[in-house]
């Protein structure tokens, strides 16, 4: 079956976007993995599906698949691309779009300067709900990695995250510790692992090893989780500039019980057609 697709990226975190509103498309893990191959397919970090909503109060349904074919709950950079896609394709004329995800509704707003603001919802900190194996909620938790004990913050932004504070992200052991912590027993559903360098209360640098994708150029939910972790540790202000390898995001969070707002760009790379 020949289907239309759009290649997009959010700060270098790249996506293949499929419109299943105007064309009939079905994917499975094998198809996703084949399309994700950067030598024999299109190549991407995640595949995004734009679907009709199942909830009449929502405008669309948003599904995300990692390059390994696994379906995940949320992707912030993908959400910004999703908003641009549905506006560019004239699937909606709304400035703010209500979107279903596996973990509940999110709201996407395109600003006059073509940035996308994503209401990421309220971060989840209760261990059982993240999920994270701990008897009670804490700001940080000790975890074993590579023969030493480190302190990690555990946060869900609709998907599970672990955040470490490091002296310098350029020297952080992302490639070696990332896969170990991603699959640590404390994270029964696995997790995205963030390595955060605090520059000031209003600025951080961040690298993220994403569950099922490896290190990516940017991770929107990872940026949000890092700001939550830094705020809870008393290291960050309520408005933070997050520098990722692919570019910069603005994250705003008033504190526990409040939703996060993430602002950043979304870019269309090219359009194409491929047999599925």
Q: Which residues are catalytic?
A: 75, 219
247 is in an annotated binding site: no
192 is in an annotated binding site: yes
Cite the DSSP H helix spans in the chain.
Answer: 29-36, 76-88, 174-182, 220-232
159 is in an annotated binding site: yes
78 is in an annotated binding site: no
Angle made by CA atoms 225, 226, 231, in degrees to the nearest 5: 100
The CB density around residue 137, as the number of other CB atoms within 10 Å, is 14
63 is in an annotated binding site: no
CA distance 65 to 175: 22
162 is in an annotated binding site: no
Token duo for residue 61: 């349904």
Instruction: Provide the 8-state DSSP code for 112.
Output: T
Which of 102, 50, 44 is closest to 72 using CA atoms?
Answer: 102
28 is in an annotated binding site: no
The CB density around residue 170, as the number of other CB atoms within 10 Å, is 10
Residues of each annotated binding site for substrate: 13, 46, 66, 76-77, 159, 192, 210-211, 220-221
């Amino acid at each position: 079956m020949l289907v239309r697709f759009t290649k997009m990226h959010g700060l270098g975190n790249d996506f293949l976007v499929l419109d299943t509103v105007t064309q009939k498309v079905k994917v499975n893990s094998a198809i996703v993995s084949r399309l994700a191959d950067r030598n024999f397919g299109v190549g991407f970090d995640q595949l995004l599906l734009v679907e009709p909503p199942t909830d009449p109060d929502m405008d669309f349904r948003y599904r995300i698949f990692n390059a390994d074919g696994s379906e995940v709950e949320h992707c912030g950079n993908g959400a910004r691309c999703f908003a641009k896609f549905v506006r560019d394709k004239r699937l909606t004329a709304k400035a703010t779009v209500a979107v279903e995800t596996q973990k509940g509704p999110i709201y996407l707003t395109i600003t006059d300067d073509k940035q996308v603001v994503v209401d990421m919802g309220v971060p989840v900190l209760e261990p059982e709900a993240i999920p994270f194996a701990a008897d009670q909620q804490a700001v940080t938790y000790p975890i074993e990695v590579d023969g030493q004990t480190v302190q990690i913050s555990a946060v869900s932004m609709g998907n599970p995250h672990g955040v470490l504070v490091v002296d310098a992200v350029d020297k952080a052991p992302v490639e070696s510790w990332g896969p170990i912590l991603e699959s640590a027993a404390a994270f029964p559903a696995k997790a995205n692992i963030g390595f955060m360098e605090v520059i000031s209360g209003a600025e951080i640098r961040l690298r993220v090893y994403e569950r099922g994708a490896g290190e990516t150029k940017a991770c929107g939910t990872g940026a949000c989780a890092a700001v939550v972790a830094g705020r809870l540790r008393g290291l960050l202000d309520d408005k933070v500039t997050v520098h990722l390898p692919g570019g910069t995001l603005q994250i705003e969070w008033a504190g526990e019980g409040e939703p996060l707002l993430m602002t950043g760009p979304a870019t269309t790379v090219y359009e194409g057609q491929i047999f599925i």
